[in-house]
Structure 1
Amino acid sequence: MSTERRLRLPGLVYGGDYNPEQWPEEVWVEDMALMREAGVTMVSVGIFSWALLEPSDGVHDFSRMDKILDLLHQNGIAADLATPTAAPPAWFFRAHPEALPVDRDGRTLSYGSRQTFCPSSPAYRTAALAIAGALAERYADHPAVAMWHVHNEYGCHNAACYCDTSAAAFRDWLRTKYGDDLSALNHAWGTAFWSQWYYDWDEIIPPRATGADPNPAHQLDWRRFCSDELLSLCTAERDVLRRAAPDIPATTNFMVVHNFDALDYWRWAPELDIVSNDHYLRSTDPESQVDLALCGDLVRSMAGGPWLLMEHSTGAVNWQPVNRAKGPGEMRRNALAHVAHGADGIAYFQWRAAKAGAEQWHSAMLPHAGTDSQIWQDVVQLGADLKALAEVRGSTSPAQVAVVWDWNARWAMEQPSQPSSELRFQDLVRHWYAPLWRAGVAVDFVRPDSRDLDRYRLVLAPSLYLVDDVGAAALTGFVERGGTLAVGFHSGAVDENCHVRLGGYPGAFREILGVHGDEVFPLLPGQSVGLLGQVPQEATADLWTERLRLTGAEAVARYADGPLAGVPAVTRHPYGGGTAWYLATHPDPTTLSALLERITREAGVRPEREAPAGVEVVRRRGADADYLFLIDHAGRGAEIPAEGFELLTGKPVVGSVTVPEGGVAVVREPLAESER
């Protein structure tokens, strides 16, 4: 968060998206009373209100928004006022049909939904900045406005547009990146392959649908451009708002979730005063609480501290094939797990469930059944919980382990023509993250080129297919200075231009890992191999194997069968003052858990607190106390050693605390003498 622009609200923020324009005004009064009953402190307003705020070009109607903001202020509820630019009105597209997006197959998409605009459209940018400026001018001094909400979920439906306008913008971006040197681009893209050499900038187009696989470097630069193009829209709106109200913080809601990979949020986060995120559980995920924790830790790491949960669901969503409702206590566990992983506020989509429109079957804080519902009871209870946890605000999350996360590596590895199409970046990272989560080991996420690695005892790089020289040097230097590094298979393989690092695998990390590979042997779906050595009995691996020889490392495990029987599969190499591990395969969960337990123990990392299986343990650290979050996902309850004061019940804790079945306990503990 910016030191100049902070959210000036006490305690933990609580609320959700508020869309009163969908309801008659007599409902608004009821909303205010119910928000106060639930403990709501801030709501997001105006997110999809462009058509009502500007019924025709340059003609504004702020009468409804005036009433809404006044009503919120009168009831002591702050407003996160949004620019409505995620949903341009129909009149705009009738005037500017060229602003509609074009998909990679050349089809122009129609309006009639949301985010149906080309990110490079000059007409869209002009109109978006105009409505943002009009809002800022009118409401910069309104006492209800506590935060600006820029746009909504950038790139959710229009992460890329392949029209001629976008093509021209892409060429401009490339000319800036390559210093207007076309030969530099040709070298970076390897265009001598398949006769793709460019002699004129105007020959370059987006990677539209073609008959064969696209150029990997072309694709990668396109992904970078698309992320930067949307970021430029975000910062342009932010600057308009800042000029009108220099002290009001601005945010936009990220989507650090499993299936969204369009934006490089490491580049986005520094541009915001407050980092916020939307997170929704997947119905098909049997351990969605692990994904929730991973995403929370990632957002906290990008924010450099506390963040805001801008959207979550009280129950079912509406956009999955089967939209599962949440079970007893699940909404509360989810919300408090977000707080445990750094959220200083909890908000939902949306306040009142819609009776019409595409999201009418999306759950809300006030469901279709009204206050005579379990969801409403849970919403009121959560408001009380967050009030009891107010002192947690601003506390940090100490970690001795860092996990490397890089969008460039993700984009590059998930392109076509890889040795295996079965590899998914976030799945590979989660495979390593889950055992740490179960063990109660605190985790931060870092860029590969982070300059702050020495604060950690252990760095894990589960999937780093692409790494530039700066990132490789940062990780190497960390090991040389005494750190422990563990690297996953198919890492270090290519540079920032997707050029293979020649000389053997794993490319950039051969020296520090003390191994040399000459061939990769990806496994077919359903195929597995056995592992022997310092691993559990019946250890297996799937997805991937490599033919390695040792060049200084020791073999911790070898393949027990298959074409690589006897070849090292897991290695350990003392290097400089530290140690580097290589997992050249994808061990089964039990085996990986055992390996990571050894790696963390040897690195001097210990769990936050011993706890039974299914009880999540997370710590936040304040200036004067620690806050120990204990969340029972297994539904069996637990007795955990602790000493201090349990905030949710208001009772002292002596010796141990009882975590209710399916419930949560948060214990304020005195700081250890070494932490003062």
Structure 2
Amino acid sequence: MARRAVTRPSTRRELPAWPTDGLSFGGDYNPEQWSPEVWREDVRLMREAGVNIVTLGVFSWGLLEPREGEFEWGWFDEIIGLLHENGIAIDLATPTAAPPSWLLHAHPDLPPLDAHGERETPGGRLGWCPSSPVFREHALRIVRAIAERYGDHPAVKLWHVSNELGGGNGRCHCEVSTARFQEWLREQYGTIEAVNAAWGSAFWGHTFTAFEQITTPTGDARKTNPGRFLDFERFSSDELLEHYLAEAAVLRELSDRPVTTNLMVGAGGHVVDYSDWAQHVDVVANDHYTIVDDPLRQQDLSFAGDRMRGLAVDRKPWLLMEHSTGAPSWQERNRAKAPGEIVRNALAHVARGSDGAMFFQWRASTAGTEQFHSAMLPHAGTASRVWREIVQLGDALQKLKPIAGSPVEPAKVALLVDEESAWSLQQGLKPHRALRYARETRLWHRAFWQRQVLVDVLPVDSDLEGYDLVILPTLFVVSDAQAARIDAFVRAGGTALVTYLSGVVDETNRVRGGGYPGAFRDLIGVTTEEFRPLQTYETVRLSDGGVVTDWSEDTNLHGAEPIVTYADGDSAGRVAVSRNTVGDGAAWYVSAMLPFESAERLADRLIDELALPRAVEASPAVEAVRRVTPEGGVLFLINHSDADETVAVSGESLLDDAVFDGEALVPAGAVVVVREAAL
């Protein structure tokens, strides 16, 4: 079976102009929660803060269509007019993330059914089955009504389809979804015999004789056939995408404004295949929230920025659609941001290619599920540090207007990620069921991030021309064609770094025979005869002094050069890190879950051997990224530590009147943006 037997041509349209003049600044605005008097105060404060765009209408369906087929536009007309009169652009959302109560009451089977047969309770977000024709009919009616009324309104600069699709309805197991899954399999495979062959259905005697016998993978996920599981994940992504495309088609029929939807891209696996989805949005947009117990939150947001840049066509600017001014509301212990962190986080995204910084939400709600979610205008009002920092950020984004539309400088390192690998690695009966896909992606990104070496985080099928180093971290699912592309890249002079649990299964989630890592065995000159997961009480020392936890392997060399070996344990003497010369290039293999110190040493060697460019020479505390304008480089220096740092650079500050003659002071927790002096 091909990776996609059924494919769609891209529906992306060329962006005629960015939605705002300069960088975009604003957030979700929910005026339905407030009186018209508050609206006028909001708009006055938006202008004070420098807000130039707001996302409107995300959760407004029940107010715009309070009864089926009856619309109330007056209040919406008023707020749109008020925003337009004050020069604030609108990212107008279709309100389908929140179906109205009358619709859910009339059709109680609309909410998704989970894998244990429990129906989602009405009242949350995205409480609808993506396969439901009933929901699709009602959703497209409200989309068409909004597009007909506002499609040509001069304030509407961007369309925003639904909200975080898949965030509440990523998987549904109802009868409608089951029937659609069977249809999808028929489209993909053609015959039931092909399904049986791909899934290896003979195991446990579960051979199918008709598509109607196939159900979605419910119950205990550990017992799910890996092939069926992966295809259901693919199907679920496709069903949500079909809904997005249906709404987008109506908008594009009735309006010439660009269409987007807010993705949820981070380091781990995702609810949908974003590399596929990115082909269908006119502006690639992301929502990003840090996790409170992540000790490297700043690196996580940088990873997300590098991933978004990898999804954008030709590395064009993308848009940070949502992040927080402080504590979100959905984590166990929600964390307020430290002084200066709002500006630091926002500009880190801008440094990595976002042409804006937007938030959820503008004014903090006093009621509803997210009543304690932080906002640009917090419960404390304008007499607060958060408000002062929002005004400061608005001023900074205005001063950074010269970088609007500019690309980030080209990277020489690519890190390949794949939602299908994330789904498969973390599901079912694996040798180590506690492993998480994000661990290796974050590890290797961090090793180069702390050395100011830019990394493009790319979909697995991306063009690799122009890169010197390609990293494949736990790229579990790999097709023959993908393996061949990596092989060709190396033979032509590139360097590949392959980690454990890469290339282990093919695109049907079948284990490749002949020894691990099957798809890359010949390229790396190593075979693993047996995985050796470490128990919670076990550690293994390495010859470079590092200490391994969780994962090791029994490796055999077939032409590769040993670099680091296991110093003790059952794999003592076997190779943990190896290098194989192939054609004009080299392929490295890492069979162990390396500690960060060992990954750092390997990154340093690769930086030296490949002469990989660093944005600046600085301490690991300083994040450095360069955007390239027609006038020259604009260097972002972000100090994530509590101590001042100095960096060798010449130029003038874009945020104040400072001039740097060979050295710039970057105060603790601060951001310095330098228009570099011409060489």
What is the TM-score with the length of structure 1 in the denominator?
0.97
Aligned counterparts of 1:448 and 1:426: Cα–Cα separation in 2: 15
What secondary structure sits across from 2:143 in the alignment?
helix
Structure 1 counterpart of 2:99: 88
Structure 1 counterpart of 2:327: 316
What is the aligned counterpart of 2:653 among 646, 649, 659? 646
Q: Is the aligned partner of 1:44 residue 2:55? A: yes
One-letter code of the match for 1:666? V
Of residues 19-28 and 101-110 in structure 1, the stretch that sits farther from structure 2 once superposed is 101-110
Q: Is the aligned partner of 1:131 residue 2:147? A: no
What is the aligned counterpart of 1:176 among 187, 194, 201? 187
Contact 2:19 2:89 in 1 (8 A): no
Aligned counterparts of 1:4 and 1:259: Cα–Cα separation in 2: 29
Structure 1 counterpart of 2:6: none
1:530-569 CA-to-partner distances (Å, cap 9, x unmatched) read 111xx3xx31222211111111111001100000111111
Structure 1 counterpart of 2:491: 480
Alpha-carbon offset, residue 3 of structure 1: 2.5
Gaps in structure 2 of 5+ consecutive residues: 1-11
Matches within 5 A, 1:103-252: 103-178=114-189, 180-210=190-220, 213-246=223-256, 248-252=257-261
Aligned counterparts of 1:75 and 1:526: Cα–Cα separation in 2: 63
Q: Is the aligned partner of 1:100 residue 2:111? A: yes
What is the aligned counterpart of 1:421 among 433, 437, 440? 433
1:286-318 CA-to-partner distances (Å, cap 9, x unmatched) read 110010000110011101321111111101111
Contact 2:283 2:319 in 1 (8 A): yes
What is the TM-score with the length of structure 2 in the denominator?
0.96
Matches within 5 A, 1:120-519: 120-178=131-189, 180-210=190-220, 213-246=223-256, 248-258=257-267, 261-303=270-312, 304-397=315-408, 398-450=410-462, 452-519=463-530
Alpha-carbon offset, residue 511 of structure 1: 0.9
Matches within 5 A, 1:484-633: 484-532=495-543, 535=544, 538-633=545-640
Aligned counterparts of 2:356 and 2:264: Cα–Cα separation in 1: 16
Of residues 649-658 and 555-564 in structure 1, the stretch that sits farther from structure 2 once superposed is 649-658
Change in Cα spacing, 1:211 to 1:120, as seen in structure 2 (3 Å) is closer
Aligned counterparts of 2:620 and 2:477: Cα–Cα separation in 1: 35
Alpha-carbon offset, residue 425 of structure 1: 0.7
Contact 1:6 1:274 in 2 (8 A): no
Aligned counterparts of 1:444 and 1:259: Cα–Cα separation in 2: 16
Contact 2:269 2:419 in 1 (8 A): no
Matches within 5 A, 1:3-82: 3-82=14-93
Contact 2:626 2:633 in 1 (8 A): yes
Aligned counterparts of 2:379 and 2:320: Cα–Cα separation in 1: 23
Change in Cα spacing, 1:341 to 1:211, as seen in structure 2 (3 Å) is closer
1:621-648 CA-to-partner distances (Å, cap 9, x unmatched) read 2233111110011021222111122101
Contact 2:267 2:442 in 1 (8 A): no
Aligned counterparts of 1:2 and 1:647: Cα–Cα separation in 2: 33
Aligned counterparts of 1:566 and 1:161: Cα–Cα separation in 2: 49
What secondary structure sits across from 2:533 in the alignment?
coil
CA RMSD of aligned residues (A): 1.3
Contact 1:448 1:475 in 2 (8 A): no
What secondary structure sits across from 1:666 in the alignment?
strand
Alpha-carbon offset, residue 446 of structure 1: 2.0
Aligned counterparts of 1:62 and 1:186: Cα–Cα separation in 2: 53
Contact 1:449 1:470 in 2 (8 A): no
Of residues 609-618 and 53-62 in structure 1, the stretch that sits farther from structure 2 once superposed is 609-618
Of residues 249-258 and 40-49 in structure 1, the stretch that sits farther from structure 2 once superposed is 249-258
Change in Cα spacing, 1:212 to 1:359, as seen in structure 2 (3 Å) is closer
Alpha-carbon offset, residue 110 of structure 1: 2.2
Aligned counterparts of 1:212 and 1:496: Cα–Cα separation in 2: 19
Contact 2:221 2:427 in 1 (8 A): no
Contact 1:454 1:483 in 2 (8 A): no
Alpha-carbon offset, residue 423 of structure 1: 1.3
Structure 1 counterpart of 2:667: 660
Alpha-carbon offset, residue 260 of structure 1: 5.8
Aligned counterparts of 1:462 and 1:488: Cα–Cα separation in 2: 5
Aligned counterparts of 2:29 and 2:600: Cα–Cα separation in 1: 43
Aligned counterparts of 1:520 and 1:101: Cα–Cα separation in 2: 38
1:220-261 CA-to-partner distances (Å, cap 9, x unmatched) read 000000001000100110110011112x01110001135662
Aligned counterparts of 1:562 and 1:470: Cα–Cα separation in 2: 37
What secondary structure sits across from 1:629 in the alignment?
strand
Aligned counterparts of 2:273 and 2:128: Cα–Cα separation in 1: 20
Change in Cα spacing, 1:619 to 1:212, as seen in structure 2 (3 Å) is closer
One-letter code of the match for 1:44? T
Alpha-carbon offset, residue 435 of structure 1: 1.1
Contact 1:44 1:80 in 2 (8 A): yes
Aligned counterparts of 1:8 and 1:157: Cα–Cα separation in 2: 28
One-letter code of the match for 1:658? L
Aligned counterparts of 2:124 and 2:565: Cα–Cα separation in 1: 54
Contact 2:222 2:428 in 1 (8 A): no
Contact 2:266 2:303 in 1 (8 A): no
Change in Cα spacing, 1:23 to 1:162, as seen in structure 2 (3 Å) is same
What secondary structure sits across from 1:618 in the alignment?
strand
Aligned counterparts of 1:212 and 1:417: Cα–Cα separation in 2: 6
1:323-345 CA-to-partner distances (Å, cap 9, x unmatched) read 01111111110011010111101
One-letter code of the match for 1:185? V
1:471-492 CA-to-partner distances (Å, cap 9, x unmatched) read 1011111001000000001111
Change in Cα spacing, 1:668 to 1:212, as seen in structure 2 (3 Å) is closer
Contact 1:7 1:249 in 2 (8 A): no
Contact 1:628 1:668 in 2 (8 A): yes
Aligned counterparts of 1:259 and 1:294: Cα–Cα separation in 2: 10
One-letter code of the match for 1:38? A
Alpha-carbon offset, residue 603 of structure 1: 2.0
What secondary structure sits across from 1:545 in the alignment?
strand
One-letter code of the match for 2:441? V
Aligned counterparts of 1:15 and 1:380: Cα–Cα separation in 2: 11
Aligned counterparts of 2:678 and 2:204: Cα–Cα separation in 1: 63
Aligned counterparts of 1:214 and 1:498: Cα–Cα separation in 2: 12
Aligned counterparts of 1:318 and 1:122: Cα–Cα separation in 2: 33
Change in Cα spacing, 1:310 to 1:457, as seen in structure 2 (3 Å) is same
